[in-house]
A and B are shown apart, each in its own frame.
Chain A
Amino acid sequence: MNKFTISGSPHIKSDESTKKIMYGVALAMAPTMLVSIYFFGFQAIRVLVLACIASLFFEWVIQKYLIKGPVTIDDGSALVTAILLAFNLPSNLPSWMIIIGALIAIGMAKMSFGGLGRNIFNPALVARVFLLISFPVQMTSWPKPEGFSIGLSDATTGATPLGIVKEGLGAGKTMSQLKPEIPTYIQDLMGQMGGSMGEVSAIALILGGLYMLWKKIITWHIPVAMLGTVVIFTSILWGIDSEHFADPVFHLLTGGMLLGAIFMATDMVSSPMTHGGQIVFGVGIGILTVLIRVWGAYPEGVSFAILLMNAVVPLINKGFKPKRFGLKPAISKNS
């Protein structure tokens, strides 16, 4: 007969696992992936495949030969990072830049902190910002969503809606003058606009978000706090002067707002641990994003905002503790 096992309680374990969470996120990203392939054709497939292979390869190399620890590339975390990275890139980015991006994401942002669970910043965003600062031209020439007709050769490029507005307002035009140049809300929802691969289709992103909420991979706190703040902040600006500030719906649906709110800011590793902290985190991202978008030098500010708030997460974790049981002072006698 076997030897009995002695261990501390509990003796049962739920079927949750890191793998399940990571592949759940990957699955939630599937609609967005399909949409990006639909709009950007072979180029999108190239970026996705290359990012995945490079990320997994770097993770494997570093775990095996640098850290010399157990290799855990099958846990799905590198895959999620890779897909998120691909979502943040324009589909016509040269291949070698994608590989550098993967190296930065995995090597610098994740492994140098000690691997899964230890990184302060969202790896995919670190890579995006690194590439954006290093190769500003390539990273801001967005191919038009023309589907498989693009082929692998040069595509026609254009600015993102945010870029159009930023430039237009900077040149002294008003919102109503810019109206014909920017896509309609319907186009925003579907994804017919310029932009990085993952940020174009709002519907696909929301679909993924709902799936993750249903599977309890994320909670509503961060996305709602972040988007709510953006809506309130931009509504105030728009209310003050609708000619010089874009409307809140435009802010919500364009750029990386939804991608950031649903997939980036909710990254478990780099977001706060309590619901209270998560709301503060979301609000902070919202405010910073609008500040950068409206007054900053860059047309898009979601990635910077998230990275900045990532940096204060340890502080938020210290300040916002969960509601402790039994610390409510008074007990109402007639309850």
Chain B
Amino acid sequence: MDDIILIAVAALGGVGLLAAVILFFVAKKFKVYEDPLIDEVEEKLPAANCGGCGFPGCRAFAEATVKAAKETKSLEGHSCPVGGNDVMQDVGKVLGLEVEAMAPMIAVIRCNGTPINHPAKVKFEGVTSCAFAHGLHGGEGGCQYSCLGLGDCVDACDFDAIHMNPETGLPVVNDKCTACGACVIACPRDIIELRKKGPKDRRIFVSCVNAEKGAPAKKNCQTACIGCSKCEKVCKFDAITITSFLAYINFENCTLCRKCVEVCPTSAIWEVNFKPRKPKADRPASVVEKATATKATPEKPIPLTIKVDNAQEDFKKEDNKIENKE
């Protein structure tokens, strides 16, 4: 009886020992050298593996930054949109390099084709995929640049930062947005753009990408940019350019003076997170107040100014402050 136990222990022990020896040599022989810096850099990264930096995952980004740091002594072109400046500063510290601060960005939806502004003329039936619908038809309301409202951007977002608003049929970005750019790629109509987040989240942008002439664009959508170039003329900072009947505001030059918003005849230019302005004589009420005061009425083109979820709260806070003062 004892023999059996002894034999079993010896046999299994021997097998174990043999395997350990083999493993030891295999591990030695096939060892791959990796720069320990890569691990250190990776630790600093958010581990979201979103691909927003252009590399397949955080590990690949870490490898690329370490390589770039060694070869070019600069991290130019390498930036983690999710982690933003803080993370890149950390990465810079690990690698012993100075990293230029970048302005935080956010995804912005440049379409205002709500059912009121851009009424549907036909009905789409089929799979809920913008990419498919884009290949099939020009859009329910006739504007071939409009948001299709089927949520490819929502599916693409890894951060729960973009949702469809069932009332407007348009996506809404909230403050979880890391500007990774996944939605920008997912949108078949190039409606989403990454723009500077702006001081206090304040932004001004043209909420339209319709490159048609004014008349056909306006025919389909009340708030389409008609390329009238009023905004271009009023802008003192050369921030606005018009190409193929479409205005574009360069966020690097824009000083958020809001002049363009006032002159836009179709309310295609949006301002978000600004304080409501005082009424003027020639303009009964500013666009913002209209939007906040009343629900959009069918006959008037009123954009939904509040796009960022937390903006609503900001407004409330500000309102409270005013009330408190009074």
In the complex, the chain A residue whose C-beta lies closest to that of B125 is A7
User: Is there a chain B Cβ closer than 8 Å to A5's Cβ?
Assistant: yes
Do B122 and A3 have beta carbons less than 8 Å apart?
A: yes
Tell me which residues from 1 to 51 in chain A have a Cβ below 8 Å from any Cβ of chain B.
3-8
Residues of chain A within 8 A of B140, CB atoms compared: 6
Q: List chain B positions with a Cβ less than 8 A from chain A.
A: 120-126, 132, 136-137, 140
How many Å lie between the Cα of A8 and that of B140 in the bound state? 14
CB-based nearest A residue for B136: A8
Residue pairs across A and B with Cβ atoms less than 8 A apart, 14 shown, are: A3-B120, A4-B121, A4-B122, A5-B123, A5-B125, A6-B125, A6-B136, A6-B137, A6-B140, A7-B124, A7-B125, A7-B136, A8-B126, A8-B132
Cα–Cα distance between A3 and B115 once the two chains are bound (Å): 14
Cα A4 to Cα B123 in complex, Å, equals: 6
Contact of B121 among A3, A7, A8 (CB under 8 A): A3
Chain A neighbourhood of B120, CB < 8 A: 3
Q: From B127, which residue of chain A is reached at the shortest CB distance?
A: A8
Cα distance A169–B43 in the bound complex, in angstroms: 71
Contacts of A8 in B (CB 8 A): 126, 132, 136
CA distance A4 to B142 in the complex (A): 12
Additional A-B contact list (14), CB under 8 Å, known A5-B125, A6-B125: A3-B120, A3-B123, A4-B121, A4-B122, A4-B123, A5-B122, A5-B123, A6-B123, A6-B124, A6-B136, A6-B137, A7-B126, A8-B126, A8-B132
Across-interface contacts of A4 in B (CB, < 8 A):
121-123
Whether the pair A6, B132 counts as a contact (CB closer than 8 A) is no
Of A4, A5, A7, most buried by chain B (CB within 10 Å of CB) is: A7
- Tell me the complex Cα distance, A8–B127, Å: 9
CB distance from B92 to the nearest CB of A (A): 48
Give the interface of A toward B (CB within 8 A). Answer: 3-8
**Chain A CB within 10 A, most for which of B120, B122, B132:** B122
Bound-state Cα–Cα, A6 to B140, Å: 8
Q: List 4 A-B pairs, minimum CB-CB distance, nearest first.
A: A7-B125, A4-B122, A6-B137, A3-B123
The residue among A4, A6, A8 with the most chain B CB atoms within 10 A of its own CB is: A6
- Residues of A close to B136: CB separation below 8 A: 6-8
Shortest CB-to-CB span from A237 to chain B, Å, is 42
A3: chain B residues at CB < 8 Å are 120-123
* Least distance between A12 CB and chain B CB atoms (Å): 14
| Nearest B-chain residue to A9, judged by Cβ | B136
For A5, list chain B residues within 8 Å (CB).
122-125
In Å, the complex CA distance between A5 and B122 comes to: 6
Chain B residues whose CB sits within 8 angstroms of the CB of A7 once the complex forms: 124-126, 136
Query: Distance (Å) between the CB of A6 and the closest chain B CB?
Result: 5
Query: How many whole Å from A200's CB to the nearest CB in chain B?
Result: 48
Q: In whole Å, how far is A4's beta carbon from the nearest beta carbon of chain B?
A: 5
A3 nearest in chain B by CB position: B123
Chain B hits for A6, CB < 8 A = 122-125, 136-137, 140
Minimal Cβ-Cβ distance residue in A for B139: A6
Which A residues are CB-close (under 8 A) to B132?
A: 8
> When chains A and B are docked, how far (Å) is the Cα of A5 from the Cα of B133?
13
Closest to A4 in B: B122
Bound together, the chains give a CA A6 to CA B132 distance in angstroms of 12
Closest to A2 in B: B123
Q: In the complex the two chains form, what is the Cα distance from A7 to B125 in whole Å?
A: 5
Chain A residue nearest to B138 (CB atoms) is A6
Q: What separation, in Å, do the CA atoms of A27 and B297 have in the docked complex?
A: 57
Q: Which residues of A contact B121 (CB under 8 A)?
A: 3-4
B139 vs chain A, min Cβ distance (A): 9
* Whole-angstrom distance between the Cβ of B134 and the nearest chain A Cβ: 12
Bound together, the chains give a CA A3 to CA B137 distance in angstroms of 15
A105 to B119, CA, bound (A): 50
| Distance between B126 CB and nearest chain A CB, rounded to angstroms | 5
The smallest C-beta distance from B192 to any residue of chain A, in angstroms, reads: 24
User: Taking the nearest CB of chain B, how far is it from the CB of A2, in angstroms?
Assistant: 9
Bound CA span A8–B137, Å: 9
Cα–Cα distance between A7 and B129 once the two chains are bound (Å):
12
Min CB gap A245→B, angstroms: 43
How far is B126's CA from A3's CA once the two chains are assembled, in angstroms? 16
A211 to B125, CA, bound (A): 36
Smallest CB separation, B163 vs chain A (Å):
22
Q: Whole-angstrom distance from the CB of A13 to the nearest CB of chain B?
A: 12
Q: How far is the CB of A72 from chain B (nearest CB, A)?
A: 21
Complex Cα distance A5/B132, Å? 16
User: How far, in angstroms, from A98 to B207 measured CA to CA in the complex?
Assistant: 64
Please give, as numbers and ranges, the residues of chain A lying within 8 Å of B122 by CB-CB distance: 3-6
Q: Kindly provide the distance from the CB of B161 to the nearest chain A CB, expressed in whole angstroms.
A: 27
Distance between Cα atoms of A7 and B124 in the complex (Å): 6
Q: How far is the CA of A3 from the CA of B120 in the complex (A)?
A: 8
Q: Which of A4, A5, A8 has the most CB of B within 10 A?
A: A8
Chain A's nearest CB lies how many Å from the CB of B135? 9
Distance in angstroms between the alpha carbons of A320 and B137 in the assembled complex: 37
Please give the distance in Å from B84's CB to the nearest CB on chain A.
40
CB neighbours of B137 from chain A (8 A):
6
Q: Which residues of A contact B125 (CB under 8 A)?
A: 5-7
Write the nearest CB–CB distance from B156 to chain A, whole angstroms: 22
Cα A8 to Cα B132 with chains together (Å): 9
> Measured between alpha carbons, how far is A6 from B125 in the docked complex, in Å?
6
Whole-angstrom CA separation of A278 from B211 in the bound complex:
55
State the Cβ distance, A9 to closest chain B Cβ, in Å.
9
Q: What's the nearest-Cβ distance from chain B to residue A51, in Å? A: 38
Which one of B123, B132, B137, B140 has the greatest number of beta carbons of chain A within 10 Å?
Answer: B123
Complex: A201 Cα to B154 Cα, angstroms: 57
Least distance between A3 CB and chain B CB atoms (Å): 5
Give Cα distance in the complex from A5 to B124, angstroms: 6
Question: Closest CB of chain A to B227's CB: distance in Å?
Answer: 28
**Distance A274 CA – B120 CA, assembled complex (angstroms):** 43
B75: min CB distance to chain A, Å:
45
